[in-house]
Structure 1
Amino acid sequence: MSTERKSTPEAPEPAAPGPRPGRLTAAAALSALEGVALAAGGVYMLVMGLAGSPDDPRQAETGGVTLIVLALLPLLAARGLLKQRRWSRGPAIITQIMALPVAWQLLQADSAAIPAGIALAVVAIASLVLLVHPATTEALGIRGPGHVQDQK
């Protein structure tokens, strides 16, 4: 029994990605920006939990680790978008959808968090628009509903 992989003549080879549209690059940059912001916030919370004097150090440390782990989703999605990987659009869209309620909560605050809410909402909406644009979906090789590949 051989462990060698055999290709079948019916299996189509993956198409080489074409030139990356600017919209896809912009979506990747915005996703990476969100990931970096989450990681920075997580590191800040973790450091303040360990070295600072928060009300509840355990809660600050847990929150910091949680934000750092959550930062992986948009960072991986951004990397996938730059490499034109089809799977990366889903995590990128999920990240933007999750950012909208956070932006809404920041906008409801009576503090300096309002500008952060505005910025987050603008980035999330702009990213969503870029991610669902036909040029982006075409560059990622995503077909709309009803487009079934020809089968022999």
Structure 2
Amino acid sequence: MTIDSDPAPSPLRWAVLLLSGEAVALGLVAAWLVYENLTAEALDPTSALLITAFAVAGALALWALGRALGRRRAGARAPAIVLQLMLLPIGWYMVQGGLGWLGVPLMALGVAVCGLLLAPATTRALGLLDH
């Protein structure tokens, strides 16, 4: 497989930047959850550990997908889109729970990153166009 020496198009660069930012943010949430697991009195330690593991796995997945897309690995686009679409129900439930100030931007972020990943320039850069 040859690596394209052309600079990455702007939509792809922004998508990678946003995925990396999401990974860092979720990593910080995971670190806070680890701290809480170690210091707080848990009513259900199994659930607490599973939620923490889910946050750690999500942060690692976002980071890995961002790096893969930065290297123009076409196979990373679909999983990245799936993770971004997961922000829609998360944001919706935040809005329903009174956290609209956080839920609406999360939904907008998910839609924006999907748009960047589906942009024609990104599709060309990933080698997914036949013409």
User: What TM-score do the two structures reach when normalised by structure 1?
Assistant: 0.77
Partner in structure 2 of residue 142 of structure 1? 128
Amino acid at match of 1:71: A
Partner in structure 2 of residue 74 of structure 1? 62
Partner in structure 1 of residue 118 of structure 2? 132
The 2-side partners of 1:73 and 1:62 are apart by 16
- Detail structure 1 runs of 4+ shifted over 4 Å in the superposition: none
- Shift, 1:85, TM fit: 1.7
The 1-side partners of 2:5 and 2:78 are apart by 18
- Shift, 1:127, TM fit: 0.3
1:39 corresponds to 2:27 = yes
Percent identity of equivalent pairs: 31
Partner in structure 2 of residue 8 of structure 1? none
How many residues are matched?
131
Deviations 1:48-80 (A, max 9, x none): 012122433332222111210122221111111
Aligned positions of 1:1-152 closer than 5 A? 14=2, 16-110=4-98, 113-143=99-129, 147=130
- Shift, 1:15, TM fit: 5.1
Partner in structure 2 of residue 7 of structure 1? none
Amino acid at match of 1:136: T
Runs of 5+ unmatched residues, structure 1 = 1-12
Taking a change above 3 Å as real, the CA distance of residues 64 and 80 of structure 1, as seen in their structure-2 partners, is same
Amino acid at match of 1:105: Y
Runs of 5+ unmatched residues, structure 2 = none
Tell me the secondary structure at the aligned position of residue 71 of structure 1: helix
Bigger share in helix? 2
